Structure 1
Amino acid sequence: MAVTVRFAPSPTGRLHAGNIRTALFNFLFARKIGGRFLLRLDDTDAERSTEEFADGIREDLSWLGLDWAEEIRQSGRFDRYAAAVEKLKTSGRLYPAYESPEELELKRKRQLARGKPPVYDRAALKLTDAERAKLEAEGRKAHWRFKLEQRDVTWDDLVRGRQHVDAASLSDPVLVRADGTYLYTLPSVVDDNDLRVTHVIRGEDHVANTAPQIQLFEALGAVPPAFGHHNLLVGADGQALSKRDKSISISGMREEEIEPLAVAIYAGTIGTSDAVAPHAGLDELVQSFDFAKLSRAPARFDGHELRLLNAKLLHALPFEAVAARLGEMDIDGGNDFWEAVRGNLGVLAEAKLWWRVVNGPIEPVIADAPLCQAAAKLLPPEPWDGETWSVWSSAVKEATGVKNKALFQPLRLALTASAHGPELKHLLPMIGRTRAKARLEGTAA
């Protein structure tokens, strides 16, 4: 059977770094071994799911380059879930329970007070037909629990190795609420079976769900997929990430103009034995992906580290990789301009600042008027090249006796209106003699 994986977000919000990390691991695994990557929108929550969020999920995945072979929406598959429910009822694995949330909470407190684990006591299984009829006559509606076989459940986790859970230590999970809506477990298992998902790759917060899900697959006559549970993200300080923090959302990173490849590289390498470093593209990330590299410790998401990676990635990009995007910003300086400025960029949009420095107009900053006036008179005739800055600044030093920072900083401020930036030996020929002279004389140009 061909390898098939899925990413299954709920369209109840925008994607964040944690979501994307799961999506990326699924995508990289499938791409590396020639498998299929599916997008499943878990939109059974009709009140909170919106088409706007669904569009946002597609947009974010596409921006990152994570293309999917097929899209499935749970809202169109209720007939399959209803059929599964009937099969489980017929086999005796799904039973009605009538306790209210308040009654269940009281039971849990009593069990904890006695030093016992707060596991559902299966009282509903002891109800007679008459007792059930009486409860229903009182207006109680049943929720439906999956009867676990009380045995050890084992699986070989792709990340965590051999795992086992004693199902007797677990409560029988509710699969269908009293209002008839489904909890996550039933639709997910039915979909994974119908879509022939071979590997379920997700965060380690789902480890506890795995044993009941394996039993549910088996109860439906299906072979369970392989499971892999990766480490979760925490903040740079080791604290839990807040989903309300816009800086960890993909839309927030896009607004910050972080490169999609930088986001993919960062998400794919933090919490692994690989260094967080620029890659040539997603294909290189695919080739390096290996579950064995994943740490069991939480992965730390540091926005500053992501921005540093983004800068390093830009610094290594050839002109051909950005030419079209520079053109969209009305920058037509070609390879010479790109080679001059790329080492000073944090995000690509900052190239617009240096294009304005080259072409003007800018308001020069005159920190040493006598020096700048003398320097203006010593400007050599054009054409200029990469040696002009060295020859000219040496002439100014010789004529004024000013040297080192006292020489270079006032010239940089006058020519670029900035104390830092690309090497002037590269910028000066593009600025040209006319603009350079005007700026040294204190005129906007």
Structure 2
Amino acid sequence: MIVRTRFAPSPTGYLHLGGARTALFAWAYARHFGGTFILRIEDTDLERSTPQAVQAILDGMAWLGLQHDEGPFYQMQRMDRYREVVAQLLANGSAYHCYSSPAEVEAMRERQRLAGDKPRYDGAWRPAPGKTLPPVPADRQPVVRFCNPLDGEVTWIDLVKGPITIANREMDDLVIARPDGTPTYNFCVAVDDSDMEITHVIRGDDHVNNTPRQINILHALGAKLPEYGHLPMILGTDGEKLSKRHGAVSVMDYPAQGFLPEAMLNYLARLGWSHGDEEIFSMAQFIEWFDLDHLSKSPAQFNPEKLAWVNNHYIKHTDDAQLAGLVRPLMVDAQFDGSPDLARAIGLMKERANTLIEVASATMLFYRQPQPDAALLTQHLTEAVKPALAEFATRCETVEWSKAAIAAMIKEVLTSHGLKMPQLAMPLRLLLTGQLQTPAIDAVIELFGRSLVQKRLLNGLE
């Protein structure tokens, strides 16, 4: 069997983190078995589906690097196929025309609620041997309903949750085509999964109740059933379902906030799946390790701090030149003329940064004019330290321009003037960068370069 999985989002909004995790797991499962990953856009909800939402899904998938092998397929472009299958089901008695109006169906359900019964369509228009159907209203277009089995059960071995059984009496006859002929969600999904020969349906557990309906439709079509695996939802830090109030939940919010796609993939992979104690791994490793046996049955909790930690790891281990290409567009006010090489500056500043935005902000100290606070200058640029700074500026003319040689020169200046490291390092930082906190001062000085260091020190001593 060739494994064929699919990711089938509805374009009614952005690609959220739960959807991205579903796509990742379906993609990885197909890759693990050398199978096929299909992208299908379920856009039959005409009132809510938008081209912008479709593009947001495609952009999110592209940013994550989850490339599909087939598709994207759009359900609205398959209307002729759905009508063909509706006609087939009508012809073989697996579906029927229902002329009950929405008001009549609602009144029917209200009577059932008052009687303490589960609200459901009562089958008034369902054909049966010896049954006389009501007269067809002349002014009403019918819906098409599926003949759901009246007894028995639907059972499947869920790849995540284990055995699940739902009695057919819990389901009424599903509308599969509206009065205008447009098909409905569960019907389209079943037809698509059959036509596309999907072998494994990996999706969120909010679809568990849809599964028996789709299984019954697939049985009526004589189609082979896929295996189903339903992923527990992702919760926020407060234990509630992840939503906008927890911050950025659209995948495309994260590149704007300075997250790397490798970090997001690594983090999403660990939401509900594990391989021993491994926290950091490549996508090649994930594909090799991934199976559905190690998926958790419990909801996963989204932790922004953990995501930031993972992103920090990937920033630290990304090539400096590659990072420079990502960070430079974020440094909108930077002055790059005559300044240090950006890749080298990023290599010095990236260790403690959790996002590319933090890298850009930290690195800006090399690409702007320093504007030290006057009170800090008064505090640190004392008369006692000015001679040492002047000697330091003079010795910069001849010292070998390397971090080690600069560090040795700093020690010599400290000794000759009887100063301690902070007494010299603080005014050096202020005059060169305008701030008191930087990486090691010898590394900062080396990056600034001989002429710029001398210029800023001499200007500060005037």
Range class of TM-score, shorter chain: 0.7 to 0.9
Instruction: Indicate which of 276, 280, 286 corresponds to 1:278.
Output: 280
Corresponding position: 1:436 with 2:439: no
Shift, 1:73, TM fit: 1.4
Q: Decide whether the 8 Å contact of 1:388 with 1:429 is kept in 2.
A: no
Tell me how far apart the structure 1 counterparts of residues 406 and 237 of structure 2 sit (CA, whole Å). Answer: 43
State the match for 2:381 in structure 1.
Answer: 369
Tell me how far apart the structure 1 counterparts of residues 140 and 304 of structure 2 sit (CA, whole Å). Answer: 50
Deviates more, 1:384-393 or 1:200-209: 384-393
Q: Decide whether the 8 Å contact of 2:202 with 2:231 is kept in 1.
A: yes
Please give the residue correspondences for 1:70-219 in structure 2 after superposition, counting only pairs within 5 Å: 70-71=70-71, 72-125=73-126, 131-133=134-136, 136-137=137-138, 139-149=139-149, 150-219=151-220
Return 5+ residue gaps in structure 2 as ranges. none
Shift, 1:442, TM fit: 6.1
Return 5+ residue gaps in structure 1 as ranges. none
Please give the residue correspondences for 1:239-254 in structure 2 after superposition, counting only pairs within 5 Å: 239-242=240-243, 247-254=248-255
Tell me how far apart the structure 1 counterparts of residues 278 and 2 of structure 2 sit (CA, whole Å). Answer: 31
Deviates more, 1:394-403 or 1:247-256: 394-403
Tell me how far apart the structure 2 counterparts of residues 255 and 415 of structure 1 sit (CA, whole Å). Answer: 31
> AA paired with 1:348?
L
Tell me how far apart the structure 2 counterparts of residues 158 and 116 of structure 1 sit (CA, whole Å). Answer: 33
The percent identity for this pair of structures is: 33
Please give the residue correspondences for 1:312-327 in structure 2 after superposition, counting only pairs within 5 Å: 312-319=313-320, 321-322=322-323, 325=326
Please give the residue correspondences for 1:406-417 in structure 2 after superposition, counting only pairs within 5 Å: 408-417=425-434
Deviation per CA, 1:32-58: give whole Å up to 9, x if none: 111111111112234443333323322
Shift, 1:81, TM fit: 0.5
TM-score normalised by the chain length of structure 1: 0.88
Tell me how far apart the structure 1 counterparts of residues 102 and 438 of structure 2 sit (CA, whole Å). Answer: 63
Shift, 1:355, TM fit: 4.8
In structure 2, relative to structure 1, the CA distance for the partners of 1:326 and 1:256 (3 Å cut) is closer
Deviation per CA, 1:335-360: give whole Å up to 9, x if none: 64443222032323544445543354
Deviates more, 1:351-360 or 1:419-428: 351-360
Shift, 1:400, TM fit: 5.8
Tell me how far apart the structure 2 counterparts of residues 332 and 377 of structure 1 sit (CA, whole Å). Answer: 23
Deviates more, 1:343-352 or 1:393-402: 393-402
> AA paired with 1:142?
P
TM-score normalised by the chain length of structure 2: 0.85
Q: Match of 1:247, SS?
A: coil
Shift, 1:131, TM fit: 1.8
Please give the residue correspondences for 1:298-309 in structure 2 after superposition, counting only pairs within 5 Å: 298-309=299-310
Shift, 1:201, TM fit: 0.7
> AA paired with 2:10?
S
Shift, 1:242, TM fit: 2.5
Tell me how far apart the structure 1 counterparts of residues 433 and 380 of structure 2 sit (CA, whole Å). Answer: 14
Corresponding position: 1:54 with 2:54: yes
Tell me how far apart the structure 1 counterparts of residues 433 and 340 of structure 2 sit (CA, whole Å). Answer: 19
Instruction: Indicate which of 329, 333, 337 corresponds to 2:341.
Output: 333
Tell me how far apart the structure 2 counterparts of residues 70 and 158 of structure 1 sit (CA, whole Å). Answer: 24
In structure 2, relative to structure 1, the CA distance for the partners of 1:421 and 1:239 (3 Å cut) is farther
